Amino acid sequence: MQIMGTILKFFNDLTGNYLLALLLIALAVKIILIPLGIKQQKGMQKQARLKPKEMAIRNKYKGRTDQPTMQKMNQEIQALYQSEGYSPLSGCLPMIVQLPILFILYNTIINPLKNMIGYSADTITGITTYLKEIGLTLTGRGDIELIAGIKNNFDGVISYLETNNISTANVTLDTLPNFDMFGIDNFLADVPTFTSWLILVPILNLAVAFASQFITKKFTYQPMQQQQQGIGMKVMMLILPFITFFVALRVPAAIGIYWLFTSLLSTLQTLILYKAMPLPKFTEEDYKAAERELKQSNKSYYSSGNARDMYNEKSSYLEDDDDTDMPLPGDDDDDESDDMPSASYTAPSKPKENVNKKKHK
């Protein structure tokens, strides 16, 4: 947290504008993560090259939706991925790495007094207590909401801290970040409402989320299972931008603006990587060739000894079972078992008589 706060403070001191500091830190995070973006694009290229073969496998089972068939189809597709050295989970790595960074940045932005300026926990608690005593309503969304109260009641804050023997180190007006914008005091620290200009922040996040979805779908590879997605997945993709809208409506505007910068930079990165590392395109003949290759490989498999050996092994197994289960005479435990012929008993053979009659004729 402190490291990210130090970086944010550096950008704020460098530009003298907290909004530009948010943009620069979003850009810095994107630059740090660009190797993961390149790796993800390479993974999409590799998966796109397998599309004709994957489609051939899906067409092989087309029209059959029973569970065993679908399971077998998925097994063949996974075997194809494995043979080509592709892992579907590789595309999740950038998202997994970004999540902890996002949480750290969120905590840094909503707690600038602690993470950027270095106020102690006792100092923040003392300021909070004083502002509540003079009638200010605090929501507990981080120490970012204390900044306006400190600016408007600075002398009272200092007096309260000194009276209660609480450190006033770094508590100066010069060290406080400037959250004013467009002539509105504390613009970036306030939470948007439907009756203020801040509502533009959630609306812009909603618009950018929809635009980003469209561009991502157009300029990145979409796996076959996503192209065949049902109504449930489509509804979820429609709902996600509205989730972004409502989250931006519940947090300080600085968070919503940072997320807006991140979304715009991510979309720009998608376009740049698409131009630098384009996805392969295929013709109808490429798909037909993949189907012929699949049929040939299946034919080679069955014409070889593999399938025959599997059949013989299974048949041998069944024959062994039949021999084991066949009842033998004399195995009964009845009292009359002593009167029955034993398994070694051989009945008289009549064919010899028939042979003798034939010779006599």
Mean pLDDT for 285-304 is: 73
Question: What three-state secondary structure class fits 181?
Answer: strand
Q: In this structure, what are the phi and psi dihedrals at residue 135, rounded to the nearest 5 degrees?
A: 100, 10
CA 12 → CA 70, 116, 151, 164, 272, distances in Å?
A: 55, 10, 18, 32, 28
Question: Strand pairing partners for 184?
Answer: 181
Q: pLDDT band at residue 201, thresholds of 50, 70 and 90? A: very high
The single residue listed with the structure tokens 């905590």 is 107
CA 111 → CA 25, 253, 326, distances in Å?
A: 16, 14, 81
Return all residues near 105 (Cβ < 8 A) that are at least 6 apart: 4, 25, 29, 258
pLDDT of residue 74: 87
Average the pLDDT over each of 3-12, 125-134, 161-170, 214-223 and give the range with the smallest value: 214-223
pLDDT of residue 85: 80
Q: pLDDT band at residue 230, thresholds of 50, 70 and 90? A: low
User: Which stretch, 15-19, 44-48, 235-239, 305-309, has highest mean pLDDT?
Assistant: 15-19
Q: What is the pLDDT of residues 138-154, one digit of tens each?
A: 888 889 999 999 999 99
Question: Strand pairing partners for 181?
Answer: 184
CA angle 41, 240, 141 (to 5 degrees): 105
* Cβ proximity of 80 and 52 under 8 Å: no
Q: pLDDT band at residue 1, thresholds of 50, 70 and 90? A: low
Mean pLDDT for 22-47 is: 90
pLDDT of residue 50: 86
By CB atoms closer than 10 A (0-12, 13-18, 19+), residue 180 is middle
Q: What is the pLDDT of residues 155-193, one digit of tens each?
A: 999 999 999 999 898 899 988 988 888 888 888 999 999
User: Count of residues for the chain?
Assistant: 361
Average the pLDDT over each of 21-25, 106-110, 296-300, 315-319 and give the range with the smallest value: 315-319
pLDDT of residue 300: 61
The answer to whether residue 137 scores a pLDDT higher than 80 is yes
The answer to whether residue 132 scores a pLDDT higher than 80 is yes
Q: pLDDT band at residue 216, thresholds of 50, 70 and 90? A: confident
Return all residues near 290 (Cβ < 8 A) that are at least 6 apart: 52, 53, 55, 56
The answer to whether residue 249 scores a pLDDT higher than 90 is yes
* Cβ proximity of 282 and 49 under 8 Å: no
Q: pLDDT band at residue 226, thresholds of 50, 70 and 90? A: low
DSSP conformation letters of 304-341: SHHHHHHHHHHHHHHHHHHHHH---TT----GGGGGSP
CA angle 347, 350, 352 (to 5 degrees): 120
pLDDT of residue 354: 44
Higher-confidence residue: 264 or 93? 264
What does the DSSP 8-state code read for residue 342?
Answer: P
pTM metric for this prediction: 0.73
Q: What is the pLDDT of residues 52-97, one digit of tens each?
A: 888 888 888 888 888 888 889 889 888 888 888 887 776 677 778 7
91: nearest Cα among 137, 40, 56: 40
DSSP conformation letters of 27-68: HHHHHHTHHHHHHHHHHHHHHHHTHHHHHHHHHHTTT---HH
Q: Domain residue spans in the chain?
A: 2-118+170-276
The answer to whether residue 333 scores a pLDDT higher than 60 is no
**For residue 63, what are its two tokens?**
């029209």
Return all residues near 126 (Cβ < 8 A) that are at least 6 apart: 160, 161, 164, 166
Instruction: Report the mean per-residue pLDDT for the chain.
Output: 80
